[in-house]
Amino acid sequence: MNRSLRGWVTLLALIGVVAAVSSTYIHLQLVANPTYSSFCDVNQTVSCTQLYQSRYGSVLGIPVALGGVFWFGVVLLLVFADLRGPVGSRENIASYFLVWTTVGLSVAMYMAYASIFVLGAFCILCGVVYIAVGAIFLMTGSETATPLRRFQSALAGDLKVLAHRPVGLALTLLFTAASLVSAVSFSEMNWSVQTENLASASESQSSTADEESEFERFWNNQPRLDSLMTDVEAPVVVVKFNDYQCPACAQTHMVYGPIFTKYETSHPGSVRLVTRDFPLDSSCNGESPNGLHEAACDAAIAVRYARAVGDTEARRMEEWLYGNQDKMDRNMIGAALTEITGISATEIDFRRGDLIDELQLDIAAGASLPVEATPTFIINGVVIKGGLAPQFFDRAIGLELDQATIRR
C-alpha cells in the first residue's frame, strides 16, 4: 500500500470512527431517555432514532454502531501493520483488507436497505459510515496481491509473526480487550438502565422550587388545542397517541403508570388517561414509513379485543405487548390474546374488520394534529411530543387539577 493510499484509508477510517462513536453515544442516550432527540433527528424520515430504536439497531442489547467502531478500529490496525509490520507480512495486508472490507460492505448494504426500504428512514450518521466503508473497500480492493486460496495459510503465518512482535501484539490484545469490555458493559448498562427506570417509576421524582416555578411558567404559556381529541370528560384528560411496538411508548407506560395510580387514589375519577392508537405500521396507517413497526396494527387490534372483554384483560394484553416488542408477530399476538381473553381464532377473524375501522378513526385523528412521533400526549389540550420528565408530567397534571378546582 503506497503512502497516499494509506493516508486516505486512515482519514476515512477516522471519519468512520467519529460517526460510529457519535451513533453509539446517541444510542446510549436513547437507552437512558427514550424521548431523547439528537441533531440528526430532522423529521420522521431523516432520523437516526428511527433506526437505533428499531430491531435493526442492536444485537443482544449491543448497538450495531459499536460494531462500526470495532470495524474501523481493525482497519486502523491493518494500516499500522502495513506501515510498521515485517516486509513479508505487508504483502498480505491487501488481502486482509479485501476480506475485511467485503464483510463491512455487506453489513453496511444490509443496514442501508433495512433503514431506507424497510423502515423508510435515513440516518445521517449511518450514511457517513456507509460511504466510508464503501470508499475503503473500493480503494483497497485493487491492491490485493495474495491469492485468496492462500488466505488461511497467510493469516496463520502472520499470527505467528505477530506473537513475536511485542508492540503489535500489545496493540491487538488491548484493542480486542477494549472491544469486548465495551460490548459487555453496554449490554449490562442497557439492562441496568431499564431496571433503574422501572424502580424509579414507583415514586415521583423530586424537583427544586425554582424548577417547579419555571415549569409552571412554561406550562401556563403553552398553546392549547380547541379539541381534547376525545369525548371523555374529567377535570384532567390525558390523551396518549400510542404504538405498542414503540420503545418510548413502553417506557412512558412504565414510568407514568404510578403517577396515574397516585391521582386515582387522591382524586378518584378526576384524571383520565385515554389511549388512542397511532401504529407506525403501513398495513393500517398510510402516514407511517413502510414497515417501521410491522406488528403494531395487530397489537392495537388485540388490545381492542381485550378491552371488549374487560379492563383487566386489556391491561394484561398491554403488558404482554410492551414486554415482547422486539420479537412479536401476528401469530404470537393472536396466541397471547387467546390465552389472556379466551377469544378463539375464529372470533378474532370475525370481528377484525370492524376493529380496523375503529382503528382508522384514531389514525385519522392523529394525522390531523399531526402526530409526528409516538408517544404524543395531549394534557387538557396541551400537546407534548415524546413526553416529559416524570416529575414534570406529574406537575402538569397537578397544575391542571388546581385550575379545575379554581374554575369550580
Do 99 and 191 belong together in one domain? yes
Do 168 and 251 belong together in one domain? no
Helices (H), 244-309: 247-266, 296-309
Tell the residue number behind the cell numbers 446517541, with chain if given. Answer: 26
For residues 63 and 29, the answer to whether their CB atoms sit within 8 Å is: no
For residues 266 and 401, the answer to whether their CB atoms sit within 8 Å is: no
Q: Element (H or E) spanning 342, and its range?
A: none
Do 136 and 216 belong together in one domain? no
User: Cis link prior to 375 (omega < 30° from 0)?
Assistant: yes
Residue 225 backbone class (left: φ over 0; alpha: ψ -120 to 50; beta: rest): beta
What are residue 385's DSSP bridge partners? 376
Domain boundary among 174, 197, 220: 197
For residue 164, the model assigns a pLDDT of 64
Do 250 and 178 belong together in one domain? no
Residues near 243 by Cβ (< 8 Å), separated by ≥ 6? 249, 277, 278, 279, 280, 281, 293, 296, 300, 374, 375
Please give the average pLDDT of every successive group of 10 residues along the chain, which has 408 residues: 85 93 85 71 76 74 84 88 69 79 89 81 89 90 57 62 64 68 56 50 52 83 85 92 90 90 92 93 78 85 92 93 88 93 80 85 90 89 87 92 82
Do 58 and 148 belong together in one domain? yes
- DSSP-derived letter for residue 46 is B
Do 181 and 222 belong together in one domain? no
CA dihedral 268, 273, 274, 280 (to 10 degrees): -160
Do 262 and 388 belong together in one domain? yes
Do 174 and 222 belong together in one domain? no
- Count of domains forming the chain: 2
Range of the domain at 395: 206-407
Residues near 188 by Cβ (< 8 Å), separated by ≥ 6? none
For residue 24, the model assigns a pLDDT of 87
Do 133 and 213 belong together in one domain? no
